[in-house]
Every structure is written in structure tokens, then in C-alpha cells.
Chains A and B, each alone.
Chain A
Amino acid sequence: MSEIRKPRALATQAAGKAGKFGRANLAATLKAKEEGKKVAYMYINNGQDEIVRAMDIVPAWSENFAGVCSAKRDAEKFLQKAEAENFSRSLCTYATCTIGFDIWREELGEIPPNTPWGGMGRPDMIIGSAQQLCDPRIKWPQATQHYLRDVPVWMGTMYYPPWDQISDHRDQEELYVKYATEELRALVRFCEQHTGKKMDWDRLEAIVNLSDRTWDVFIDTYELRMAIPTPMDTGDAMNTMVPLTFNLGTQEAYDFYKELYDELKEKIALKKGVTENEKYRLVWGAGLPSWFALSDFQYFNDKGAVFPVETTYRNAEKIERLDLPKTNDPLEHIAWRWVRIWTHWYDKARKRPGSLPKVERIIEYLEDYHCDGVVFHCAYSCRSWHAGIIQQEQVLKKAYGDVPTLIMEGDIVDISSYNEVDTHNRIDAFMETLGAMKRKERANSAGP
């Protein structure tokens, strides 16, 4: 039985609306059959969503589903289902939660009872991405197919040049872009084959263009959060990420950020911050959140700490800053966009001895958003985003200076990994460190 909890208070109205996107996305996968549309299981940040949208295939975002189960504190039954099939608890719990649901749905021939938000529709295809994002992106589709044997799996890739302090990644960019473009072209062929429709290239181009504009308005909006007091923090961003992450290339996503932009502008004009008394500004330095414990953001807010910026779910940048080479091929444009976003902080990192791209990004946010410290969350079941956090913390201190930092531990879905008392104690201790630092700063600026 899921536990009923008081939801986190949201600072923006937009954050409240973001949930509707998530709900509608899941509902669309259930309605698709009636509408004669195909459903594809997909995985976020894959660079493939615009193609799928242009082909009128309905994306079923597995991470969205698992995140909802987690937020509802109702994932355990699915995790156990997967565990009973010998999927280890140590594997990505987005994957094991969704696989557990799939197994159960196959057994019943219908959505398991009391599945959060009505569950996801059975896919007609699975589109995986062996992107340099994580292993589960290739293993999860395969593992799912073990239970959905008639469902075809297609696998693409989107790699980017690895970071190297001494060599210039631009020497290799074209190789990576060419490769990624070819993979996207193969995906178009796969979609054509499985929908019986031809790609409408003009439509794709329009969608790609809309995505560019969405990235732009998204960044413009998020940069409003530099204001003091900040009008929106990471607690909200974990909701407002939904349209960018799951609905890229749709007018609704674009409009959502336009609206959020206006809302934040208004708040700034009224000097309305996330908290009454904004004492500490923090960067959410890395990590997917514990969806079942989003109220921890409230815990920070109650202590006067806000997060005007986060690295998580912000895989976008103003298009002009990416300086993308011109191309008439929308697929190549998508490839350039992603290769450039993943390598965006390489140049900066090369300029600061002993730094790393991920750390440069944090430093940039610390400075631009006037932050006092950095909080990381290490989710045990996802190596992709969370391996290397200790190093980021260490390099930050070494290459930049002694910034107060906190690493919290938990998981994205598995609530058994989480200890609220312990987490809150650690946050309290961190607040004391921040307080001491502020007092020292004040004393220093007051002079002798």
C-alpha cells in the first residue's frame, strides 16, 4: 500500500502544470491503440524523440513511469516482481521498476491493478539508445524483450568525443556527428518500416526548429532564476523538466516555458522568492533526485536554502552558444546539437589547470547564480550520473576553492535506500557549515 504524503509546496504555478504533461504522456500510450497509433518505449536524452514525433509514434517514457511510481511511493511491488525474476536490486531501478510492471502486465494481459497514473500501454516497438549515457539504455530494452518477445527492439547510438585535457575534441567532432547522423537515419528507416509511413522531412525540420526554440526559451527562463531572491528552485525544476525532457518538439512544450518565463518575470518584479528569507543559495551539482523524497527540497527551503540552478535535467543550452555548423539535414542538426551540448564545458575546463568539464559547469553556475555551496545526490542504482560525484567534489575544491559541499545518498526509486532522519541530520550539519561560512565572510568584509 502506498503511503499518502503531503506534496511539496510548489513555488510556481507552472510546476503544478508540469505534472499534467507527465500524466497526459502516459495516457497517450494507453489511448494510442484506439487512435491507430504506434507506441514506442523510449529513454530520455536520446536525440531520437523529434524523429518519433515526426512519425506520429507515441513515445512511452519508461523513466517517467518509474519516476511516478517512485514519487507515489508505490514502486516496491514492481521492483519485487523484477527481483523475483533474478534482476538484482543493484541494477538501475528505473529499469527494474518498469520491467517489473511489464512482466506483471504480460501475466495479467492488462494493466496491473492500482498502477500509478494508469500505467503505460504495451509498446509496438522499443527504441533504445546506446548513447554514451548508460549501460541500461542497451540492456533494459533487451531485458524487456525477454518478456515482450514479439516487440521489435531498435538500438541507436549518440556518442561524443571523450574529454581529454591535452587534445582538442573538435578534431574528432565531425567523426562523431557523422556517426550519430547515420544512426538517426537508420532510425528513420526503422520507423518507416514499422509505421508503413514515409518520413515527412519538412515536418521533421519544423519540429527540429521548434526544439531549438524550446531550448532557447528554456534557458532564457531558467536564467531568470539568477535573480535574488530566486523565483524558482530545483524542487520545482524537478517538475518543470517534464516538457523539455519528454515533450521536446511539441508546441505545448514551447508554450509551457513561455508561460513559465512570464510567471518568473512577474515574481521577480514583485521580489517574490521561493522562501521568505533567502539565506543560502545552492547549486544542485549532480544527481537524479529521490522522487519519493522531493519534500527534502522543502526541508532545505524551510531552512532558508534555495537552489536557483541544477545540472540535472538541464541538458540544453542556448543554440547560439553552441555555435552549430549550418546544415540542411535536420538529422545532422540534431547530432550537432547533442554532440555540442555534451562537450560544451570542455574548453573552459582546458583553461583551468586540474579542472574537469563537469566541474567547470558547476563553477559557472556557482558564479552566475551567486551560490554559496553545492549539493549532490548519489543514487546508488545509476552509475551513469552518480559515479564520479566524489571526484567532482574533490576537483571543485582543488581547482576552484573551498566551497561547502554535501553529498546525499539514496536512490531514484528504491525507498529502502533512504533514511529520512539521517538525510535531515546531514542537511542540518551542512546548514551549520554554510552559516559559519557566511558569518566568517561577514566578519571579513566588516574589516578589523
Chain B
Amino acid sequence: MADEQLSGLATAAKYYSDYGSRARELKSMGKKVIGYFSSLCPVEILTAAGVVPVRMKGNVSEAITRADAYMETMICPFVRNVFDAAIKGKYRYLDGMVMPHQCDSLDRTSDIWDYNLGFQYYHFLNYPHLADDPSIEFTNEILRIFIGTLEKFTGRNITDQALADAVRAHNNNRRVMRELYGLRKEDVPRISGAEMMQVLIAAVSLPVDESTALIRRVTEEVTNRAPGFSAKKARIMLVGDQIDDIAIVNAIEGTGAHLVMDDLSVGSKMYWDDVAETGDLIQGITDRYLNKLKIPTTFVSAGNTYEENLEARFGHVKSHIKDFNVDGVILFIYKYCDPYGFEVPAIKSYIESVGTPVIYIEDEYSTSSLGRVKTRIEAFLEMIAG
């Protein structure tokens, strides 16, 4: 169980810095632990299977020293960094791994993960990149195949009841996280961007109920904080895929801004939409991950005009900007990331069209370039203030 002696924030900080520690504990108690990539992974199915899902992450402060012997350097630096950690044994505690088909850097390295890490269980979840009717039907089927492989691996059936309970538990988890996000709407957010990042990361390393309890504790603690009073600071939103370290957040907040919102795959993307709890649950899961989740690898064909299509793709970003009173957006995209990279001109001009300035930063998954990034962010904030 989560450490009751520590405050919620301190617990989050602990799980953040000793990532996977709770999963290792549970593993020693006989639980099976499954690592997964991407906000596309239907975690409710893993929970229903009775395994502990752990989102895989790397370490931006650690240089890649072994992965290059296995993977080309033109693969997304985030993926290479996580593989580096894995090949160095940091994920030895995992019993298996789920690789959703998000992007080429995952899809085209899938065999490398499977081949070299020797997990007992490995599943490539072949999501389509479309959300039309045939794709929905297809996804329902591949989710059923996925369930079948998990049942075989765990030796127990995933009952309808277990799935319904898991769906409810994850919806609940998303709801409490959204409440915590809500506390960032105030002029001086009750929770800093760095604290929030720690909670987000801790949350994806725990079984869902523990995660929910932790988020609740943090919410309670920060709600009880005295409202902050300070001179107006720029309110920033961070957009990108898996930014999972406080280094970049500190770079933003260290320059005197508040990070108040994100559209990240470990952040709001995970929490903004629920799975329908009534009707066919598999269909509900498909609908959530293909239709509701806003991720650049799922092609959106909504709208009669290009402008309407942009609304369907990025409208959620506009809502976040309004709801969280955002003054500026940082697009932080990893080098060699085609899905996000090709979107930069469209999303940048879309956000600018609502009057919010945007800075686009292409970077590695590493602190080695932090100095340069900081300088650019400082200049951006000066521009906003100016």
C-alpha cells in the first residue's frame, strides 16, 4: 500500500523518483506486472486481467549507452532511451509488455523489444490509424485477441464483471485526475507544474485503485493550501507526446511562469475522456481509444472543410486554452517523431489563430540540451510579457 506516513505529494515524489517501486513490491507478493507504451494502451483490460500495468518511461538524465547497439539512432529518442533502460535491466521486474501500434518508432522496433528482452508475455496491439466503421469493428476484434492472449498468460478468464469493474475504476481514476487538473485553473494554481508531473508519473506506475487514492490525497492536500497571491505570471501549456520528467517543467517554471495545462500523452490526453460504462464494453473501449483520444496517429476525417477538420483534431487544445486561461503554448516535439512533427505547422497556426502565441521546440529526450531549451523558453516568455 502507499506509504501512509508520507503526504500525498511526498508519496508521488517518491514513486516518481523510484519509478516502478510499488510494482516491484507487488511483484514480490506474487502479482504479475505488465509494462506498456503509449496512451493508446487500454489499461482497463490489463486491470481486468488482474495484472499491474506500468507505463514505460526512460530517464532524461541518463545518456543512452547501450541501446545504440540494438537500435538505429533515427528512432525517436524517447523510445531509444526507454529501451536503453530496459536493456540495462531497469524493467527486469516486468513479466510482460504490451506494445500498441502508435507510431513507426514503436511498430518498427517491436521485434527488437520482443527479441532482446525475453519477457514471458509480449503483445503487439495492432491498432489501426483510422476510426471509420471498418476500423472500429477491426479494433473490437483485435481487443478480443488481446484479451485472449492475456487470459492465456494469466491462466484466468477476464469476466464481463471484471471488465466492467475495471472500466469503472479507470473512469473514476480519470475523474479524480480531472478534478486535480481543475485546481490549476486558479490565478495561482494550487499545484505546481512540477508537482503535477510527479503525480502524473506516479499515477501510471500504480494499480488503478492505489493511483486513484493517491490522486485524491494530493487533491485534498493542495486544496487545503492557502490560495496563492503573486504577481501575474505567464500561464503556459505544454503540448507533445511522452514528456515524463520534471526537467523541462522546471525549465519553464524556473523562468517564472506557471505550467497550468498540458496536452501530453502522459497527461491530459489520458484523462479527458472516459469509456462508456453501459452497452458493449469492448465497443466502449474502442470508442474511447480511437474516437475520443486525441492523438496524431489516429486520422481524423470529421468535418466538411479543412477548417472543420482542424477543429476536430485540435479543438480540445482550444478548450484547454480557454478553460485554463493559457497565455502561451510550448510545442515540445522529439526529433524523428513523424506523427507529431508533421502536425507542427497545422497545430501552430491553429493555436495562433485563437490569439495564443506558440513556440515550437524540437529536442532530444535528454537534459543535455536543456540549456538551449531554457534560453528559448525565456525568450518566448519575454515575448509574451512584452
Interface residues of A (CB under 8 A from B): 85-88, 90-92, 95, 128, 130, 132, 134-136, 138-140, 142-143, 145-146, 149-150, 153, 155-157, 159, 161-164, 172, 175, 179, 182-183, 186, 356, 378, 380-381, 383-384, 386-391, 394-395
Contacts and interface: CB of A to CB of B under 8 A. Distances in A.
A162 B346 CA distance: 32
Contacts of B349: 146
B229 interface: no
B344 interface: yes
B129 A90 contact: no
Contacts of A134: 104, 338
The number of chain B residues touching the other chain, given as a range, is: 35 or more
B342 A143 contact: yes
Contact of B130 (A91, A155, A383): A155
Contact of A387 (B71, B134, B138, B141): B71
The 8 closest A-B pairs by CB, nearest first: A139-B342, A130-B129, A182-B134, A387-B108, A383-B104, A135-B338, A149-B306, A179-B138
9 contacts: A130-B130, A132-B107, A142-B342, A142-B343, A146-B306, A155-B129, A182-B134, A380-B73, A383-B75
A130 B129 CA distance: 6
Given A87-B342, A157-B128, A132 B101 contact: yes
A39 B338 CA distance: 26
Contacts of B299: 128, 130, 138, 142, 155
- Which of B296, B305, B333, B336 has the most chain A CB atoms inside 10 A of its CB? B336
A90 B362 CA distance: 10
A383 B345 contact: no
A354 to B, nearest CB: 8
A145 B126 CA distance: 27
A139 B338 contact: yes
Given A135-B339, A138-B299, A387-B109, A86 B360 contact: yes
B108 A143 contact: no
A172 B115 CA distance: 22
Given A88-B335, A91-B341, A179 B134 contact: yes
Given A183-B134, A387-B72, A91 B128 contact: no
B356 interface: no
Contacts of B339: 135, 139
Contacts of B296: 139
Given A90-B335, A356-B111, A157 B342 contact: no
B101 A88 contact: no
B343 A384 contact: no
B382 to A, nearest CB: 21
A391 B341 contact: no
Contacts of B333: 88
Nearest to A160: B126
Interface in B85-111: 101, 103-105, 107-111
Given A383-B104, A387-B74, A388-B109, A136 B130 contact: no
Nearest to A134: B104
Contacts of A143: 342-343, 345-346
A356 B115 contact: yes
A435 to B, nearest CB: 27
Nearest to A385: B108
Contacts of B70: 390-391, 394
A95 B345 CA distance: 14
Interface string B57-97: 00000000000011111110000000000000000000000
B119 interface: no
Contacts of A156: 130
Given A130-B130, A130-B299, A136-B338, A391 B111 contact: yes
Given A162-B124, A383-B105, A391-B115, A86 B345 contact: yes
B74 A383 contact: yes
A279 B309 CA distance: 58
Interface in B333-386: 333, 335-339, 341-346, 348-349, 360, 362
Contacts of B307: 149
A380 B109 contact: no
Contacts of A384: 104, 108
B134 A136 contact: no
Contacts of B2: none
A235 B70 CA distance: 29
A87 B347 CA distance: 12
Given A384-B108, A388-B109, A159 B343 contact: no
A157 B127 CA distance: 11
Contacts of A146: 306, 345-346, 349
Contacts of A138: 129, 297, 299
A391 B336 contact: no
Contacts of B104: 134-135, 383-384, 387
Given A85-B345, A387-B108, A390-B70, A155 B75 contact: no
B142 to A, nearest CB: 8
Contacts of B360: 86
Given A87-B345, A390-B69, A92 B138 contact: no
A356 B116 CA distance: 13
A162 B135 CA distance: 16
B338 A91 contact: yes
A256 to B, nearest CB: 32
Contacts of A186: 132, 134
B302 interface: no
Nearest to B125: A162
Given A86-B360, A157-B129, A139 B343 contact: yes
Contacts of B335: 88, 90
B301 interface: yes
A179 B344 contact: no
A95 B343 CA distance: 13
Given A132-B101, A135-B297, A387 B75 contact: yes
A145 B124 CA distance: 31
A88 B362 contact: yes
B294 to A, nearest CB: 14
A87 B128 contact: no
Nearest to A380: B74
Given A135-B342, A157-B128, 14 more contacts: A88-B333, A90-B336, A90-B362, A91-B341, A138-B129, A139-B338, A142-B343, A145-B309, A155-B130, A163-B111, A175-B138, A179-B128, A179-B135, A378-B72
Nearest to B135: A157
A162 B73 CA distance: 24
A270 to B, nearest CB: 42
A153 to B, nearest CB: 8
Interface string B208-233: 00000000000000000000000000
Contacts of B362: 88, 90
Interface string B138-178: 10011001000000000000000000000000000000000
Contacts of B105: 383, 387
B108 A172 contact: no
